[in-house]
């Protein structure tokens, strides 16, 4: 028995700790998207598999018996690849996905967008300065609509693309506090905050701070969810692995 844990999230790190404590053979996998990733407990591999074929081959080659996809809610490609590769390799797959912010008390005041380009257009209409917290990968989607606006792009690693003159980069990594987020929004005079519906607590304080200051909030909706069986907490995922990998109870002769 050996579990492949597709990670890159705090939930994946929590699950890696729980499974390591339970002595479950485990390999965590990271994409290699950030330069200095927070590493989970136990064995880790880094880098893509090479699409569905590569992942299916990896499962067979490494003797993987179970897969937990605990990747970020917006990492749609790897989640889709996992569904197809696991089906092909006949390996059970569980999706661990944190709930979004649709139950947040401020949800009715937010401007929802179906994708990043639509979020950029909404932010341009609402006006800058704009705080962009959607990550480095999608910055290019915001440039056409926002290149004339003052924008602060908060990212973990330095963007690889050149940014418009009125944009600045703020390099930082959560978790954040409400007080810290309030100070940032106030000091930079932010009028519009753009975020993805990532869910979770680590990046939620900006939403509370924005509400308190009357800052407009634009939220990018999640992509379609995985078709795999789903749980929302690391504890539930750990229970699934332990029950799926438990040896059969011995049968007692009468």
Which positions touch ligand NAP (CB under 6 A)?
6-9, 29-31, 33, 48-51, 54-55, 71-72, 74-78, 81, 135, 137
Nearer to ligand NAP, 10 or 122 (CB): 10
Residue least distant from ligand NAP (Cβ): 48
Residue closer to ligand NAP by CB (options 18, 85) is: 85
* C-beta of 216 vs 220, nearer to ligand NAP: 220
**Helix or strand or coil: residue 176?**
coil
DSSP assignment of 121-182, as one string? HHHHHH-SSEEE-S-STTHHHHHHHHTTS-EEEEESS--SS---TTEEEEE--S---HHHHH
Count of CB atoms situated within 10 Å of the CB of 49: 21
CA 170 to the chain's CA centroid:
20
**Counting Cβ atoms within 10 Å, is residue 134 exposed (0-12), middle (13-18) or buried (19+)?**
buried
Cβ 197 to ligand NAP, closest distance in Å?
10
Nearest distance from C-beta of residue 34 to ligand NAP, angstroms: 7
Compute the least distance from the CB of residue 35 to ligand NAP, in Å. 12
Query: What is the smallest separation between the CB atom of 107 and ligand NAP, expressed in angstroms?
Result: 20
């Amino acid at each position: 028995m050996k579990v492949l844990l597709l990670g890159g999230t705090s939930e994946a790190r929590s699950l890696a700790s729980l499974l390591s404590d339970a002595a479950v053979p485990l390999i965590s996998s990271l994409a290699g998207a950030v330069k200095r990733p927070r590493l989970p407990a136990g064995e880790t591999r880094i880098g893509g598999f090479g699409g569905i074929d590569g992942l299916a081959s990896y499962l067979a080659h490494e003797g993987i018996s179970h897969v937990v996809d605990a990747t970020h809610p917006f990492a749609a490609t790897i989640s889709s690849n996992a569904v197809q590769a696991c089906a092909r390799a006949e390996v059970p797959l569980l999706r661990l996905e944190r709930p979004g912010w649709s139950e947040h008390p401020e949800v009715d005041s937010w401007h929802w967008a179906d994708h990043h380009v639509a979020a950029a257009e909404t932010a341009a209409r609402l006006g800058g300065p704009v705080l962009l917290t959607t990550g480095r990968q999608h910055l290019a989607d915001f440039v056409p609509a926002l290149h004339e606006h003052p924008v602060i792009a908060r990212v973990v690693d330095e963007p690889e693309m050149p940014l418009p003159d009125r944009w600045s980069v703020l390099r930082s990594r959560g978790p954040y506090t409400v007080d810290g987020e309030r100070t940032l929004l106030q000091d930079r005079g932010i009028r519009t905050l753009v975020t993805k519906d990532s869910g979770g607590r680590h990046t939620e304080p900006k939403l509370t701070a924005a509400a308190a200051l009357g800052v407009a909030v634009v939220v990018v909706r999640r992509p379609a969810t995985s078709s795999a069986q789903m749980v929302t907490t690391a504890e539930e995922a750990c229970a699934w692995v332990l029950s799926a990998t438990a040896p059969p109870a011995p049968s007692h002769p009468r």
